[in-house]
């Protein structure tokens, strides 16, 4: 059978060509318009003569936008480009989790393995900590970041693997039973890195290079700063001083490979990693599925956290993301799997890279039309004039049934709410007993008892209600403060703290521990105040210190609680 050719007249060919050219031109104009919108958005957040960020946007496997903004190093003036390397901090965790997933897939380890099989230095707790607990942050382990702070290790000092392992393994208690709850813990991912080393004989960085970086062509990526990988094109971290000027932040030059953070890479290399999830380039058939498997608690509750990845929902679309940050570095990767759309943003200063990624997604995907759930009704904006004379009657310590403590205090005729370890937040009055914090959509109502004295407060936020009852708070005399004086030792930190009284005030003497949050906790001479809350409980910048007594009423020690990150760290009186 002969083939039949179709011959179009010249005018038809010309018309078809014009249509095709118009389509190409329109697509180019639309692409240029989106690029201009992204450029304007980022440009409003980053000054050209200050530290900045690198941004890369992927649409259906194609890089549709990549650009650098600002300065990589303020001392040299070198600009940021899409090939500039950044420390991605906790975005590292997904690569550590990927190494574990590969070992599981190969049958070399099991997610149900007790971690003491590989790290026998760890103590035996009330229940076994399994590898899956480390992956999903359900181990209950204390985060070594707060432990290092309390031990007095300067943040700019690099600790060896042995030192960190010793610190973590000295902890005799957990914040909660393994699998009972979820609380983000760098300690867990540090131990995952050790497990990789002890199973493979390679550091987690070496194993990732062999199994992930090299196969994907991520030639500018390493688990620590490697000048040979970055060719000197490194974004130096910067922090802002009180006058608004940026200064280079001391870098921890460390060649150790730790599982919790420290990867230095570029947005272009991260593009290769991002696309591997669509192209199944790493591991076998189960690898990508395992990476996206969310954790569960012992009660069967499904968590949003998978293998170093947060699984979420934004405007009706599934998202896969993770962020990382430290003084001077911020990073975020955001993926919309069904749309095959991703945004990567790496910064060398305190820009909110997560928010920026979502704002870029808003520009590109037009997903505001897909929103399915109405936003919570905003808090009423009405602010009333209230006589500050009512504030002393509201001041006090309030406690919820779950142990959450709220402090209400008045300063300069203004009322504040504060949780231990957090900054005070001003309450704006709606009436003498009703107050709001608009930016977090919180309403606080004070409730009097039958005698007219305030006995509790009620918090309303996004349809949820919480009740905190007012505790009986009595000031302590000078003689009572003297009862607390003494030296206190923690075997879990191997440090000694001192407590002393002076001029009707109690102080904590921990010379190696910096008072990094200078609000309401230091007197004019810089001494560390133990701010009295109620009974034997005091407050510091990182949480609460509660003193314990024996049956005779004598002080025997104290424990530190720093929110969900640290429960009941005990010190014994010497």
Query: How far apart are the C-alpha atoms of 546 and 529, rounded to whole Å?
Result: 14
Top pLDDT among 36 and 1 is at: 36
Top pLDDT among 342 and 463 is at: 342
Top pLDDT among 157 and 329 is at: 329
Q: What is the residue extent of each domain of the chain?
A: 86-140+175-370, 388-470, 478-573
The pLDDT value recorded for residue 543 is: 86
Strands 86-87 and 264-265: antiparallel
- Whole-number average pLDDT of the chain: 88
SS3 of 266-299: the string is CHHHHHHHHHHHHHCCCCCCCHHHHHCCCCECCC
Q: How many angstroms from the chain centroid is the CA of residue 535?
A: 33
- Pick among 1.20.1440.120, 2.40.128.50, 3.40.50.2300, 2.60.260.20: CATH of 478-573: 2.40.128.50
The pLDDT value recorded for residue 7 is: 57
- Domain 388-470 architecture: Beta Barrel (2.40)
Q: At what angle do helices 10-45 and 353-365 cross, to 10 degrees?
A: 160
pLDDT band at 384 (very low <50, low <70, confident <90, very high): confident
The pLDDT value recorded for residue 228 is: 85
The pLDDT value recorded for residue 245 is: 84
The pLDDT value recorded for residue 250 is: 76
The pLDDT value recorded for residue 208 is: 98
pLDDT band at 9 (very low <50, low <70, confident <90, very high): low
Domain 86-140+175-370 indexed as CATH 1.10.10.10: no
The pLDDT value recorded for residue 62 is: 96
Top pLDDT among 38 and 514 is at: 38
Which of the residue ranges 96-100, 323-327, 438-442 has the most confident prediction, judged by mean pLDDT? 96-100
Say if residue 313's pLDDT is above 90.
Answer: yes
The pLDDT value recorded for residue 10 is: 63
The pLDDT value recorded for residue 377 is: 54
Q: At what angle do helices 161-169 and 144-151 cross, to 10 degrees?
A: 100
pLDDT band at 17 (very low <50, low <70, confident <90, very high): low
The pLDDT value recorded for residue 24 is: 39
Please state, in angstroms and as integers, the Cα–Cα distance from residue 344 to each residue in 55, 84, 257, following that order.
6, 13, 23
Say if residue 513's pLDDT is above 80.
Answer: no
**521 conformational bin, left if phi > 0, alpha if psi -120 to 50, beta if neither:** alpha
The pLDDT value recorded for residue 331 is: 97
The pLDDT value recorded for residue 518 is: 39
Say if residue 113's pLDDT is above 90.
Answer: yes
In degrees, rounded to 5, the angle at the alpha carbon of residue 175 between the alpha carbons of residues 199 and 152 is 80
pLDDT in tens, 242-276: 787 888 887 776 778 999 999 999 999 999 999 99
Q: State the average pLDDT over residues 358-373.
A: 74
pLDDT band at 394 (very low <50, low <70, confident <90, very high): very high
pLDDT in tens, 216-245: 999 999 999 888 887 789 999 998 887 878
Top pLDDT among 567 and 17 is at: 567
Q: How many angstroms from the chain centroid is the CA of residue 512?
A: 25
Query: How far apart are the C-alpha atoms of 54 and 234, rounded to whole Å?
Result: 12
The pLDDT value recorded for residue 525 is: 43
Helix (H) or strand (E) holding 215: helix 214-216
Top pLDDT among 183 and 422 is at: 183
Q: Taking the CB of residue 158, how many other CB atoms lie within 10 A of it?
A: 14
Say if residue 31's pLDDT is above 70.
Answer: no
Q: State the average pLDDT over residues 515-519.
A: 42
The structure's pTM equals: 0.86
Q: Which long-range contacts (CB under 8 A, 24 or more apart) does 454-458 make?
A: 454/393, 454/394, 454/396, 456/398, 457/398, 457/406, 457/408
Q: Taking the CB of residue 401, how many other CB atoms lie within 10 A of it?
A: 9
pLDDT band at 374 (very low <50, low <70, confident <90, very high): low
Would you say the CATH fold of 388-470 matches that of 86-140+175-370?
no
pLDDT in tens, 49-74: 999 999 999 999 999 999 999 999 98
The pLDDT value recorded for residue 520 is: 42
Say if residue 199's pLDDT is above 70.
Answer: yes
The pLDDT value recorded for residue 19 is: 43
């Amino acid at each position: 059978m002969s083939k039949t050719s179709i011959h179009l007249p010249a005018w038809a060919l010309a018309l078809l060509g014009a249509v095709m050219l118009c389509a190409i031109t329109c697509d180019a104009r639309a692409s240029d318009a989106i690029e201009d919108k992204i450029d304007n958005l980022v440009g409003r957040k980053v000054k050209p003569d200050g530290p900045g960020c690198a941004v890369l946007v992927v649409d259906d496997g194609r890089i549709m936008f990549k650009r650098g903004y600002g300065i990589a190093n303020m001392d040299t003036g070198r600009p940021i480009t899409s090939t500039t390397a950044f420390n991605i901090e906790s975005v590292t965790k997904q690569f550590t989790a990927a190494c574990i997933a590969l070992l599981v897939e190969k049958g070399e380890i099991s997610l149900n393995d007790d971690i003491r099989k590989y790290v026998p230095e760890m103590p035996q707790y009330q229940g076994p900590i399994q590898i899956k607990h480390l992956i999903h942050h359900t181990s209950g382990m204390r985060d070594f970041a707060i432990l290092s702070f309390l031990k007095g290790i300067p943040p700019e000092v690099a600790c060896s693997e042995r030192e960190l392992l010793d610190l973590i393994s000295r902890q005799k208690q957990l914040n909660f039973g393994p699998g009972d709850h979820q609380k983000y813990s760098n300690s867990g991912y540090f131990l995952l890195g050790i497990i990789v080393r002890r199973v493979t004989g390679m550091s987690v960085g070496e194993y990732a290079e062999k199994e992930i970086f090299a196969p994907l062509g991520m030639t500018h990526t390493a688990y620590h700063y490697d000048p040979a990988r970055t060719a000197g094109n490194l974004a130096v971290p910067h922090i802002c001083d009180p006058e608004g000027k940026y200064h280079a932040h001391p870098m921890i030059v460390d060649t150790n490979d730790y599982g919790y953070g420290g990867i230095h890479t570029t947005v272009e290399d991260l593009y290769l990693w991002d696309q591997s999830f669509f192209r199944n380039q790493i591991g076998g058939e189960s690898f990508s599925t395992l990476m996206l498997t969310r954790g569960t608690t012992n009660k069967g509750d499904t968590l949003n956290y998978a293998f170093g990845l947060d699984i979420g929902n934004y405007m009706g679309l599934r998202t896969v993301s993770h962020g990382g940050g430290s003084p001077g570095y911020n990073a975020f990767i955001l993926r919309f799997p069904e749309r095959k759309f991703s945004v990567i943003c790496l910064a060398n200063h305190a820009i909110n890279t997560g928010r920026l990624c979502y704002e870029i997604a808003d520009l590109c995907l037009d997903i505001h039309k897909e929103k399915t759930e109405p936003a919570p009704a905003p808090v009423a904006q009405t602010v009333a004039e209230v006589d500050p004379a009512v504030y002393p009657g509201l001041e006090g310590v309030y406690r919820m049934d779950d142990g959450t403590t709220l402090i209400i205090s008045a300063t300069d005729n203004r009322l504040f709410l504060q949780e231990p370890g957090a900054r005070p937040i001003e309450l704006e009055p709606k009436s003498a007993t009703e107050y709001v914090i608009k930016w977090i959509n919180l309403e606080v109502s004070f409730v009097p008892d039958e005698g007219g004295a305030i006995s509790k407060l009620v918090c309303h936020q996004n349809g949820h209600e919480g009740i905190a009852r007012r505790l009986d708070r009595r000031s302590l005399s000078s003689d009572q403060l003297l009862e607390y004086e003494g030296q206190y030792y923690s075997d879990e930190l191997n440090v000694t703290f001192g407590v002393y009284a002076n001029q009707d005030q109690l102080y904590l003497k921990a010379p190696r521990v910096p008072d990094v949050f200078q609000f309401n906790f230091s007197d004019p001479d810089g001494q560390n105040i133990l701010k009295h809350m109620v009974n034997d409980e005091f407050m510091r910048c990182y949480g609460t210190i509660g003193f314990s007594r024996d049956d005779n009423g004598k002080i025997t020690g104290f424990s530190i609680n720093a929110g969900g990150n640290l429960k009941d760290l005990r010190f014994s009186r010497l």
